[in-house]
Amino acid sequence: MRSEYLLVLAIVVLFPLILSFVLDLRLFRRLRSLAGSVLVSTVVYGLWDVIVTSRGHWRFNPEYTLGPALLGLPVEEWLFFVVIGFVSVFTYEAVIKRLPPRS
């Protein structure tokens, strides 16, 4: 199924997205910090990905990707950085919120 990579990303982001509202983490109230930090890692790791994909470090299975690509990477791969960036920030803020303060 060609939507499989996209589906994996959707599953990965679903519960953190819901939980960020359940836990009242207010990540989207800090949209500029959120977007900024996700953008930095997407640009840095995306650039790395573009270079090493062209050098043959890895390739993406056309059976499980939709087809559209940007700079040689499937759109799903770009979305991967956005998803992992968001999930990282979510996890970190959830940990801070749930962690008892150190005495």
Partner 1 sequence: MKEYTILALGSAAAVTLLDHLLGTKMTHRRSFWITQAIMFLFEIPTNGYLTWRPIVLYNPEMFLNIRLGTIPVEDFFYGYGLITLTLIFWEFFASKRNRTGAGSFS
Q: Binding residue for partner 1 (CB under 8 A) from 20, 73, 78, 85?
A: 85
Spatial distance between the Cα atoms of 72 and 58, rounded to a whole number of angstroms: 12
Spatial distance between the Cα atoms of 97 and 28, rounded to a whole number of angstroms: 16
Task: Output the six-digit token pair for 8.
Answer: 């994996």
- Count residues binding partner 1 (CB under 8 A): 38
Min. distance of Cβ 21 from partner 1 in angstroms? 18
Site string for partner 1, 27-66 (x = CB under 8 A): ---x-xxx-xxx-xx--xx--x---x--xxxxxxx--xx-
